[in-house]
Amino acid sequence: MKVDWLIVGAGFTGAVLAERIASQLGKKVLIVEQRDHIAGNAYDYYDEHGILVHKYGPHIFHTNAKHVWDYLGKYTEWHSYYHHVLGYVDGKPVPIPFNLNSLYTLFPPRYADKLADQLLAQYGFNVKVPILKIRESATGDDLRFLADYIYNNVFYHYTRKQWDLTPEELGPGVTARVPIYISRDDRYFQDTYQGMPKLGYTEMFRNLLNHKNIKVLLNTSFKELEGEVQYERMIFTGPIDDFFEHCHGELPYRSLHFKFIHSPEDNMQAVGTVNYPNEYAYTRTTEFKRLTGQRTFGTTYVEEYPQAYKRGENTPYYPIPKEEYRELYRRYEAEVTRLNGRVLFAGRLADYQYYNMDQAVARALSLFEKTIAV
Ligand code: FAD
Ligand code: UDP
């Protein structure tokens, strides 16, 4: 077979680039995907009870990038959805990100008033402060107590479970994704655009890839294709160290095990996701109906159990944001320049960056505009 572009991986990065190259440049694209489906980690499907579930953990779309929202909007309608999370602290479900409402759920009203006054005086209203920053900057006994309390009860054990590292051992951006929010806004994200693809992610990907110049080959890893396909250029969206056969050593990733549970109850929790920072081996439970708005009898939810990644045994879901691993990544990045632009690398695993879906799309659109379409 002969194509213009070979794209490895049918996730957001691969699918968006395939669509752009096929529709804007009129070139022939072959996507090779090792799994038996498109949509990468955003893949969803109807389980045996007829409930739309996310095979690789809960995916909630949110972005401030209008061009990303508008671009995907050509391939899906949106179900309006604002994600809410409760986290169990001292046996009580409190709003996460930790905010002024969380204070009133946990502390006696007059003490909560005092803490709220001090937070407002020191940081101001509607301000987001990462936990590691609040611990450094909090002044006075009360705020210092509060900073330690949130650190110990919300972040420390959750982060150990999720990453097997402490918040300090990771890049500060990780815990800063869920900052303390000095506000009464209980939503998990404050992005301008938030929602779920009305008919699901997989259906949105079907629309993205529905172009005469795009072919998708499933159940096939890139290695198996060697010699079978001729191509001008290639885009690789899998783990960058896999591509280079780990010549500088393996990049570390974090994996997860997902346990899906069906219950005959119509709902099993009050909000989309409940976090368990301190109890259980899992970090959180997510009830899919809450995200998708699907109306059915019974409900399906998923528990997420973090695991070490072992190549060949489980899936590399998260790059691990830590400076020493970034340095190792840079050694692979240096290898890329030796390929003289014939192979491009993009995506959460190929860039070794903790991208959300909108960032993966933005990265793909920008790679197309700045490097491919020129
Ligand atoms: P992927 O989706 O990983 O796609 C890469 C594809 O390449 C995979 O399908 C893989 O099978 C294939 N591949 C790899 N190597 C090869 C090979 N050698 N040969 C053939 N195929 C190969 N983002 C959000 O915005 N909101 C969320 O709520 C959210 N929740 C998440 C929850 C979890 C548990 C996880 C793990 C991620 C979550 N994300 C979320 C992030 C989101 O999944 C990523 O941003 C997005 O999937 C990145 O797309 P990608 O195309 O770069 O990678
Ligand atoms: N986090 C935490 N407690 C929480 C929620 C998040 O400690 O209740 C930390 C944890 O380190 C986690 C990170 O913040 O990995 C980012 O959380 P997010 O919900 O963004 O993770 P993701 O959805 O990407 O798994």
Does residue 88 sit within a domain?
no
How many Cβ atoms from other residues are within 10 Å of residue 261's Cβ? 12
In a domain, 278, yes or no: no
358 burial (CB, 10 Å; 0-12 / 13-18 / 19+) is: buried
In this structure, is the dihedral angle defined by the CA atoms of residues 338, 339, 340 and 343, taken in order, positive or negative? Answer: negative
Question: What contacts 62, CB < 8 A, 6 or more positions away?
Answer: 83, 189, 191, 193, 194, 356, 358
Mean pLDDT of 48-76: 98
Give tens-digit pLDDT for 351-372.
999 999 999 999 999 999 999 9
The mean per-residue pLDDT over the stretch 56-79 comes to: 98
Looking at the structure, tell me whether residues 247 and 103 fall in a common domain.
no
The closest residue, in CA terms, to atom 3 on ligand 2 is 155
Q: Is 150 in the pocket of ligand 2 (CB under 6 A)?
A: no
How far is residue 341's CA from residue 9's CA, in Å, rounded to a whole number?
19
- Give pLDDT tens digits for 129-160: 999 999 999 999 999 999 999 999 999 999 99
Q: Is residue 87 part of a domain?
A: no
Look at residues 182, 207, 232 and tell me which one is the last residue of a structural domain: 182
If asked whether residues 209 and 174 sit together in one domain, one would say: no
DSSP state of 99: B
Residue 247 domain-assigned (yes or no): yes
Using one digit for the tens of pLDDT, what is the confidence trace for 290-303? 999 999 999 999 99
Compute the distance from residue 283 Cα to the ligand 2 centre, in Å: 9
Beta-bridge partners for 54 = 44
At residue 1, the pLDDT reads 87
Mean pLDDT (the chain) is 98
Statement to judge: residues 117 and 176 lie in one domain: yes
Number of domains present in the structure of the chain: 2
Band of the pLDDT at 194, cuts 50, 70, 90? Answer: very high
Looking at all shown ligands, the one closest to residue 85's CA atom is 2
Name the residue of 163, 291, 357, 358 whose CB sits within 8 Å of the most ligand 1 atoms, as the mutation to test its pocket: 357
The CA 154 to ligand 2 mean position distance, Å, reads 10
333 & 248 share domain: yes
Q: Is residue 119 part of a domain?
A: yes
Looking at residue 227, what is its pLDDT?
87
Which residue from 59, 226, 309 has its CB within 8 A of the most atoms of ligand 1, so it is best to mutate?
59
Is residue 275 in some structural domain? no
**The domain containing residue 101 runs over which residues?**
95-182
Q: Which of 324, 321, 276 is nearest to 303 (CA)?
A: 276
CATH number at residue 38: 3.40.50.720
Co-location of 153 and 235 in the same domain:
no
Query: Ligand 1 atom closest to Cα of 13?
Result: 51
List, for residues 16-37, the tens digit of each pLDDT value.
999 999 999 999 999 999 999 9
Percent of the chain with pLDDT over 90: 98
Q: Are residues 165 and 113 in the same domain?
A: yes
Of the candidates 182, 214, 237, which is a domain's last residue?
Answer: 182
Pocket of ligand 1 (CB under 6 A): 8-14, 32-35, 40-42, 56-60, 221-222, 237-238, 242, 256, 317, 347-349, 355-358, 360
Kindly report the pTM of this predicted structure. 0.98
